[in-house]
Amino acid sequence: MNKLERRGALAALILLTSLNLLNYIDRYIFSALLPAIKSDLHFSDTQLGILGSGFIIAYLFISPVFGVLGDRFKRTKVMGVGVAVWSIATAFSGLTRSFFGQLTTRIVVGLGESSYTVVSPGFLADVFSKRSRGKVFAIYSGAISVGSALGYLLGGVLESRFGWQRAFFVVGIPGIFLSFLLFLFPEPVRGSLDSTPENEPQKKYQNLDQKRYFLKATRELFSNQAYLSIVLGYAAYTFVVGGLAFWMPSYIVRYFDVSLARANLTFGGLTVAGGFVGTLAGGFISDAWEKKYGNAYLKLAVAAMALAIPLFWLSLQAKNFDQFCLILFFLELALFICLSPLDTAVICYVRPEVRAMAMAWDVFLIHLLGDGISRTLIGSVSDTSGLSAALSICPWVLLIAALIWLFGILRYWQPAMLSKAEFSVPLLQAHRGFTDSGKLQENSIEAFASSREKKFQMAELDVRLSRAGDVVVSHDELSHLTGDKLSLAAVLQSESLPRYLNIEIKSDDFKYHHLVREVARTIEQFGFENRVLISSFNPLVLRMMAELNPKISRAYLVEHRGWNIFLPGHIISSFLAHPHMLNIKESLLDQKTCAHFKRRGIPIVAWTVNDLTRARELLGYGVQSIITDQILPAELHN
């Protein structure tokens, strides 16, 4: 990304974050004004809940429409119209006093906000690469906590000075002016910064009409079980966050005998402090974890829920207002930590060309099953059992969210992101340096030199510990030939190697620590971090390598044994290994299995393939590389 592109990306982030700020100010000022509206218009809690749900229901039902528009048309125009519509509707909320009138304005606000929320994340993903998306979405999502808090703060201040009607008018005007800036912004190329095997931006569905595109993209997303696991957990999370945001000022007023202005000021301030810090922390932590391990977004979400659940229970038991505020701060912190990771996960688990549709169905489902239910349900339970009893539902729902995400981590893990763009796995790898008609001994300098002469770009070799505790190149079946003669250090010092090496670490399941440390040290000593791929059958070996040096690429070896139990499309224990790719035994691969891993963006290497026809078949299925004893690069390319 050159200097001009960086400036454009930064400008896009500033504009979209500013609009997201207004989005949440306009959304939550209504919650801040609930007590005043209830007192003036004499609405019941159930009616107030319906007004909140009316916004959400309109918001979610129109989102699939904007998913189609966002994937098919210029996104700046779609967002610009939506921003103007919601801003005008917010201003008009102060001009009606009937229940039907308020419901109508809330519905129109929901329609306008849906266009922006659905389209903007995919837009940002096309101006920032995956390596920085955690931070970018943290900044973008940081506007949620700040905007929500400003909604409460402005609601309290403006209501006390001008009345609740004029408060709506004041906050609606700025969005009308900012919407015009979107029409002037350039449209980025979809998927241009993604490098997954599925990245074919704007091609797969480009010739379909709107109806067929909607059906095909929807079918693709609903068959993506990893995506669904994120969204369903997100729905449970939204049930709680939406219900908390809508009812917390009322809870403070009723249970701690404070004024509406103080309740909004307190809750708004805590939301700014805890929410903003939590959102930024979530983005930076998830980026760091993702570079090192993979699957960081959902892992961080589960960890955040483990903190939020007990804090929620404690907050409902608090009798002292100061104690309640302290607990609420940490609760907000825990809840908002996983906000930007969740949005990033939704984007990263789908192909670039359907991201707007992915966000559209995400918005639809999380609000249909989340705060579209919780606001009215909490209000209804509050009318019969009290608001405290109604809110006590929320910790149990957070537990459901955590369990769904944990299931997603275990079953639908993502590969770790390759840390260096210059590392590339070639089509063919010479197994143990390649056997030259039995003349060359495998796992030898001569064999590696011969593979280079035959135009192999990568050679595979096996290492283990010698009796003296040194890392040597050897294999159990060849130890009678190789012995402990050739050290890994000697190999890496050779000038006759192919460009890349695939180093398989041979170790007993729980006797690997010294070996892995020595392999990592040797690789670093000779500056081979960008030229090696570490592979192993033991997931803990790869996990330790990730800890020692996350820059070194890792592959998990798979067959029917030990840790590596192979199920159709799934590898139990891969979440422990944090691999960048899977090296799978050739006999386990068919077209369906390869297609499954390709959809998930998991690179596949097949071992060991000595039939040229079979090698070409596997490459046609989407396998990225073949480990072979007999096939030459010249033969494959003929």
- 106-141 pLDDT, tens digit per residue, is 888 888 888 888 888 778 878 777 667 767 877 887
Token pair of 580, please?
A: 């960048």
Tens of pLDDT, residues 470-494: 888 876 555 544 555 788 999 999 9
Give the whole-angstrom CA distance, residue 308 versus residue 302: 10
The reply to whether 62 and 139 lie within a common domain is yes
Task: Name the domain boundary from 411, 438, 465.
Answer: 411
The reply to whether 119 and 259 lie within a common domain is yes
The reply to whether 231 and 338 lie within a common domain is yes
422 located within any domain: no
Q: What is the mean pLDDT of residues 95-101?
A: 82
35 located within any domain: yes
Tens of pLDDT, residues 35-77: 788 888 888 877 887 887 777 778 777 777 777 777 777 888 8
404 located within any domain: yes
The reply to whether 363 and 312 lie within a common domain is yes
Q: Which range has highest mean pLDDT (252-256, 341-345, 553-557)?
A: 553-557
200 located within any domain: no
The reply to whether 433 and 403 lie within a common domain is no
| CA-wise closest residue to 271 among 29, 54, 574, 44 | 29
Give the whole-angstrom CA distance, residue 545 versus residue 521: 10
Indicate which CATH number applies to the domain containing 327.
1.20.1250.20
Given a cut of 80, whether residue 268 has pLDDT beyond it is no
Contacts of 40 (CB under 8 A, 6+ apart): 97, 164
CA-CA-CA-CA dihedral for 2, 8, 13, 15, to nearest 10 = 170
| CA-wise closest residue to 30 among 11, 46, 51 | 51
Tens of pLDDT, residues 543-576: 899 889 888 999 998 886 544 444 444 555 677 7
Position 480 scores a pLDDT of 47
Question: DSSP letter at 189?
Answer: P
Query: How does residue 209 score in pLDDT terms, banded at 50, 70 and 90?
Result: low
Task: Name the domain boundary from 411, 446, 462.
Answer: 411
237 located within any domain: yes
The reply to whether 212 and 267 lie within a common domain is yes
Question: DSSP letter at 465?
Answer: E
Cβ–Cβ < 8 Å for 28, 152: yes
The reply to whether 123 and 266 lie within a common domain is yes
450 located within any domain: yes
The reply to whether 305 and 441 lie within a common domain is no
Q: Is 534 left (phi over 0), alpha (psi -120 to 50) or beta?
A: beta
The reply to whether 443 and 405 lie within a common domain is no
Q: Which of 176-190, 229-243, 484-498 has the lowest mean pLDDT?
A: 176-190
The reply to whether 348 and 462 lie within a common domain is no
Cβ–Cβ < 8 Å for 1, 127: no
Give the whole-angstrom CA distance, residue 143 versus residue 322: 26
Query: How does residue 330 score in pLDDT terms, banded at 50, 70 and 90?
Result: very high
Position 58 scores a pLDDT of 80
pTM comes to 0.69
Indicate which CATH number applies to the domain containing 505.
3.20.20.190
Choice between 66 and 370, residue whose per-residue pLDDT is larger: 370
Angle, helices 75-92 vs 164-183, to 10°: value is 170
Indicate the number of domains in the chain.
Answer: 2
The reply to whether 366 and 461 lie within a common domain is no
Q: What is the mean pLDDT of residues 424-440?
A: 78
DSSP H or E segment with residue 84: helix 75-92
Would you say the C-alpha torsion 223, 304, 244, 27 has a positive or negative sign? negative
Given a cut of 90, whether residue 612 has pLDDT beyond it is yes
Position 568 scores a pLDDT of 40
Q: Which of 185-199, 233-247, 310-324, 425-439 has the lowest mean pLDDT?
A: 185-199
Would you say the C-alpha torsion 576, 582, 584, 590 has a positive or negative sign? positive
Q: Which of 244-248, 293-297, 345-349 has the lowest mean pLDDT?
A: 293-297
Cβ–Cβ < 8 Å for 19, 140: no
Position 436 scores a pLDDT of 62
201 located within any domain: no
202 located within any domain: no
Give the whole-angstrom CA distance, residue 355 versus residue 121: 8
Give the whole-angstrom CA distance, residue 512 versus residue 129: 35
**Separation in Å, CA 384 to CA 44, 246, 314:** 12, 18, 23
Give the whole-angstrom CA distance, residue 570 versus residue 490: 38
Question: Interior CA angle at 125 toward 198 and 127, to 5°?
Answer: 115
Position 492 scores a pLDDT of 93
The reply to whether 493 and 604 lie within a common domain is yes
Q: Which of 208-217, 322-331, 371-380 has the lowest mean pLDDT?
A: 208-217
Give residue 173's domain range: 6-188+208-411
